[in-house]
Structures are given as structure tokens and as C-alpha cells.
Structure 1
Amino acid sequence: MTSWAIRVAVLLALLASYWGVYQHGRSVERAEAATATAKRDSGDRLAEIIGERGARQEEQRRAQSQEEARAHAQEERTTADAGAAGADAGGQRLRDEAGKLAATVSCPGTDPTALARGQAATRAAMVLSDLLARADARAGELAKAYDQARIAGQLCERSYNALIN
């Protein structure tokens, strides 16, 4: 071989070694980049899973708080309904007694003036008895409406507090 061929062979060998070193550097760089990307993606996925788990737990906490508020409101409604039923029964007894009293009010006797006064007193007692019955019925309706509105408002407040806390 001639010196010229040796020089070309050495030059080609040198270029091949530089090319090999360059390719090795690129492959190492790609591997490091892939490792860094995999680490980042793994961390991102872990953070996403932790975030989802936390969001799920918060959603479950809120749902449980709202369910507790609904159950408490239902208990209050039951208590209020029982109280209203008792009040209605007491009011009905009062109205019955007032009606009986109004029906028995009269002035016995033979004097026509006394009989007229007795009939007027009976009519007045009946009117008052009817007025009492209406007022008591209306008071019962208003009490029921107030209880329902109060319970609904408290339920709303508890549900809202469960969402923001």
C-alpha cells in the first residue's frame, strides 16, 4: 500500500471513530432525555392520581354531609309533623268544647225577653265558637308553613356549609 492509501485509510478510520463517538453521544443524550421524560410523566401521573383521589374524597365528604343534613331535616320534619298533629288534636278538642258550650248557652224560662236574650246569646256564642275554630285552624296552617320554611332554610344552610367547608 502506498502512503496515500494509508493516509486515506487513517482519515477514514478517524472519521468513522468521530462518527461513532458522535452517534454514541446522541444515543446517550436520547436515553437521558427519555429517562427524564419518563420520570416527569410518572410524577405527573402520580400527581394526577393523588389529585383525583383527593377530589373523590372531597366529593364523598360533601355528599355525606349533605345526606346527613337531609336526614336531620327529615327528622325535624317528622318532629314538627308530630307536634302539629298534637296541636291539631288539642285545637279540635277546644273547638268541640266551644261548640258544645255555645250550643248549651240559653236562658230557660217563660219570659219572652229572657228567651230572646238567650237566643241572642246562643247566636253570639256560636259566632265566637266559629271565629275561634277559624283562627285556630289558620294558626295551625301558619305554624306548619313556618316549620317547613325553617327546616328548608336550615337544610339549605347546612348543605351550603358542607360544600364550602
Structure 2
Amino acid sequence: MTWPVRLGLLGLVMASYWGVYQHGRSVERSQALAASAQRDGADRLAEVLAQRSARHEEQRRAQAQEEVNAHAHEQNQVAAADAAGADAAGQRLQHDAGQFAATVGCPGTDTAAVGRGQAATRAAMVLSDLLARADARAGELAKVYDRARVAGLACEASYSALTP
């Protein structure tokens, strides 16, 4: 065999080795791309599932907040109705105390008895006024307490609904 033939044969062998090498690289590259695509697909799926879970949790929390707000509104309405009833009872009590204070007195001609009757009437009027002011203040404090209690319970319920 001559050199040119040997070089041609050697060139063919080298070319076939080069072809096999390039084929192996392309197979490895396609396998790496497939594995990368599979990882990316799994990552994307995990991301989508996480977003869906986050949206579901957000909706659950929003619904829980709406329920808490509705319950607090109902409790405020009940407290307002109770306060209105208490105000009406307080007004009746004040009216009765005013009438009682107006009727206190000592009829007669004895000036000492009449003086004592007038003093008793003044004392009854002062006590009636004191009762009216104390009842009004107690009503105000009760309304503030009721609102604060409802707000505190709503806050607690809201926190409980937001924490897992």
C-alpha cells in the first residue's frame, strides 16, 4: 500500500471516528436538553401549584375576614338595640324620680313643717338630677364598652382566621 492510499484509508477511519464523536455529542446534548426541559417543566408545575395554593389561601382569608366583619356588624346591631332599650328604661326611671321629687312635701300650716317639706323637695330634686346624670353617663360608658368588646372579639377572630 502506498502512502496516498494509506492516508486516504486513515482519513476515512478518522472521519468515521469524528462522525461517531459528533453523533455522541449530539445525543448527549439532546439528552441534557430533555432533562433540562423536564426539570423546567417540574419547576413550572411546582410554581403553578404554589400560586394556586396561595390564591386559595388568600380567598380563604378574605372569606374569613368577611365572616368576621358580618358577625361584628350583627353584634354591634344587637348592642345598639340593647342600648336603646336601656336608654328607654333610664328615661322612664328619670321620669318617675322627677314625679316623686315633685310630690315630696309636707302639706299643712306649720311653717317648720313646710320648710322641712321644701328642703325635702329640693333634696329629692337634686337626687333626681344626680340619678339622671349618673344613668346617662353609665349609658355612654356601656355603649363604649360594647363597641370596644365587639371590636376586640372581631380582632381576635380575624387573627385566628388568618393564622393557620
Q: TM-score normalised to the size of structure 1?
A: 0.96
How far apart in 2 are the matches of 1:103 and 1:53? 74
Aligned to 1:69: 68
Aligned to 1:149: 148
Aligned to 2:100: 101
Aligned to 2:9: 10
Summarize deviations over 1:73-132 as a string: whole Å, max 9, x none: 110000000000110011011101111111121212222111101100100100110111
Matches within 5 A, 1:50-65: 50-65=49-64
**Which segments of 5 or more consecutive residues in structure 1 lack a partner in the other structure?**
none
How far apart in 1 are the matches of 2:8 and 2:95? 127
Which stretch of structure 1 is more off in the superposition, 145-154 or 30-39? 145-154
How far apart in 2 are the matches of 1:17 and 1:103? 127
How far apart in 2 are the matches of 1:137 and 1:101? 19
Paired residue type of 1:83:
D
Aligned to 1:161: 160
Question: What secondary structure, in the 3-state scheme, does the structure 2 residue paired with 1:108 have?
Answer: coil
Matches within 5 A, 1:34-49: 34-49=33-48
Question: What secondary structure, in the 3-state scheme, does the structure 1 residue paired with 2:105 have?
Answer: coil
How far apart in 2 are the matches of 1:7 and 1:95? 129
Question: Does residue 122 in structure 1 map to residue 121 in structure 2?
Answer: yes
RMSD (CA atoms)? 1.0
How far apart in 2 are the matches of 1:67 and 1:155? 11
Aligned to 1:110: 109
Summarize deviations over 1:18-70 as a string: whole Å, max 9, x none: 11011100100000000000000000000000011011101111111111011
How far apart in 2 are the matches of 1:34 and 1:99? 95
Paired residue type of 2:46:
A
Q: TM-score normalised to the size of structure 2?
A: 0.97
Question: What secondary structure, in the 3-state scheme, does the structure 1 residue paired with 2:108 have?
Answer: coil
Question: Does residue 87 in structure 1 map to residue 96 in structure 2?
Answer: no
- How many aligned positions are there? 164
Question: What secondary structure, in the 3-state scheme, does the structure 1 residue paired with 2:109 have?
Answer: coil
How far apart in 1 are the matches of 2:19 and 2:108? 137
How far apart in 2 are the matches of 1:7 and 1:92? 125
